[in-house]
């Protein structure tokens, strides 16, 4: 029997609601309550930060707030992304059994299909591993994907008629000089309008991408509208988690609490201990520009380490991040353990200093 690829469009919505809707689709698909679903949507001017990022390392929050730029935190990892109404975004919730591949291979197959869809519009698009589609060496799409149980959640964005906008002003980019940042972004990014010489019809883009994905995986394409259960769960998740400033601003960073930090270059470990000589972990935050599947692995690990003797934390992290059940990009299980071990060593130095 041919699998169905359902296509919906939720339009332009607030950034935190969009993130909640993505989480709702992943949850409902994982529970078997909706079929394979492709959702198109758009954002107001906003910045989406990765689940494990320390906000102040990724974005200039004061500039965002002063400029009316929304800030949202994704459930997926990776780096901060600037969004604007001129960009078309999508989520794809696929059944893992329909992909028949591990995450990187599945992500590559989806990206190749999307590039083929853009080629139908006359764009000589090609997939550039691991997370871009480019035309003539310039980025037109940013992409990411992760597994959550039996579901693969793939996300992407294509620039229709938007350039860098105020991206260089709100993101913490490597260069120190704004004009150099703006020049680099302008040279690196392109849009469908720039390449085609006309303002694209969003429906044309959506159909090209949808049809190419359906053809690539043998799906029957079925246009649809959002279901009540989807919008209801999105509203619940929005109110309970994604809309909260505490989730966006404080769920990763220690928020001014005195902690010790362990670093290995790609991962930071912030550890706060309970008072007393037992050296038990009261709270731990693992941050960095990395991605992990399943998406909640790091959150679950942080919860599992609370109350544990700090000397056991690195070994517990290594065991929890087993290569057979967890996939990481941008970091490794060893780098997580190394960051924790570095923080543990600093807690030991601090304790010895107090006793001397």
Q: Which residues of the chain have pLDDT under 50?
A: 176-179, 181, 253, 256-257, 352-356
Query: According to the model, what pLDDT value does residue 254 have?
Result: 54
Same domain membership, residue 327 and residue 202:
no
Return the CATH number at 277: 3.30.390.50
Query: According to the model, what pLDDT value does residue 101 have?
Result: 65
Q: Looking at the chain, how many residues does it have?
A: 356
Query: According to the model, what pLDDT value does residue 169 have?
Result: 65
Q: Are 161 and 192 in contact (CB under 8 A)?
A: yes
What CA–CA distance (Å, rounded) separates 66 from 80? 19
Q: Which residues pair with 159 in a beta bridge?
A: 87
Query: According to the model, what pLDDT value does residue 21 have?
Result: 97
Kindly report, residue by residue over 237-278, the tens digit of the pLDDT.
999 999 998 888 866 545 544 566 778 778 888 888 877 677
User: Of 249, 270, 298, which residue sits at a domain end?
Assistant: 249
What CA–CA distance (Å, rounded) separates 158 from 350? 49
Query: According to the model, what pLDDT value does residue 183 have?
Result: 53
Same domain membership, residue 302 and residue 200:
no
Return the CATH number at 143: 3.30.930.10
Q: Are 93 and 75 in contact (CB under 8 A)?
A: no
Same domain membership, residue 119 and residue 14:
yes
Model confidence pTM above 0.75: yes
**CA-based torsion, 284, 287, 291, 296: positive or negative:** positive
Query: According to the model, what pLDDT value does residue 307 have?
Result: 87
User: Of 203, 218, 249, which residue sits at a domain end?
Assistant: 249
Number of neighbours of residue 316 by Cβ within 10 angstroms: 17
Q: Scan for tokens 């006793």, then name that residue.
A: 355
Query: According to the model, what pLDDT value does residue 186 have?
Result: 56
- Domain containing 318 equals 254-355
What CA–CA distance (Å, rounded) separates 270 from 143? 29
Query: According to the model, what pLDDT value does residue 322 have?
Result: 84
Query: According to the model, what pLDDT value does residue 257 have?
Result: 47
Number of independent structural domains in the chain = 2
Same domain membership, residue 213 and residue 232:
yes
Residue 312 is given by DSSP the state: G
Kindly report, residue by residue over 139-178, the tens digit of the pLDDT.
999 888 777 778 888 999 998 886 555 666 677 665 544 4
């Amino acid at each position: 029997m041919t699998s169905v690829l359902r296509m919906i469009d939720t339009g332009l919505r607030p950034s935190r609601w969009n993130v909640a809707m993505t989480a709702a689709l992943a949850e409902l698909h994982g529970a078997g309550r909706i079929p394979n679903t492709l959702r198109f949507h758009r954002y107001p001017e906003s910045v989406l930060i990765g689940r494990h990022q320390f906000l102040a390392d990724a974005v200039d929050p004061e500039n965002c707030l002063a400029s009316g730029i929304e800030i949202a935190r994704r459930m997926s990892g990776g780096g901060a992304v600037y969004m604007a109404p001129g960009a078309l975004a999508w989520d794809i919730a696929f059944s893992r059994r329909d992909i028949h591949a591990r995450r990187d291979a599945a992500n590559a197959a989806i990206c190749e299909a999307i590039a083929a869809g853009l080629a139908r519009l006359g764009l000589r698009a090609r997939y550039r591993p691991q997370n871009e589609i480019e035309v003539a060496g310039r980025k037109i799409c940013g992409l990411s994907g992760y597994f959550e149980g039996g579901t693969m959640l793939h996300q992407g964005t294509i620039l229709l008629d938007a350039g860098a906008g105020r991206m260089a002003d709100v993101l913490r980019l490597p260069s120190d000089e704004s004009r150099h940042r703006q020049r680099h972004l302008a040279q690196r990014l392109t849009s469908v309008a720039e390449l085609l010489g006309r303002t694209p019809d969003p429906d044309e883009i959506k159909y090209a991408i949808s049809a190419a994905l359906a053809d690539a995986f043998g799906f029957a394409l079925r246009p649809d509208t959002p279901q009540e259960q989807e919008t209801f769960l999105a509203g619940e998740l929005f109110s309970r988690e994604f809309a909260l400033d505490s989730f966006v601003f404080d769920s990763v960073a220690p928020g001014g609490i005195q902690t010790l930090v362990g670093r290995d270059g790609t991962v930071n470990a912030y550890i706060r201990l309970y008072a007393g000589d037992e050296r038990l972990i009261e709270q731990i935050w693992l941050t960095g520009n990395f991605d992990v599947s399943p998406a909640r692995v790091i959150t679950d690990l942080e919860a599992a380490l609370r109350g544990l003797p700090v000397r056991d934390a690195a070994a517990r992290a290594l065991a929890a991040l087993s290569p057979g059940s967890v996939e990481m990009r941008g970091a490794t299980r060893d780098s997580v353990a190394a960051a924790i071990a570095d923080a543990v060593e600093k807690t030991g130095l601090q304790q010895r200093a107090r006793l001397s």
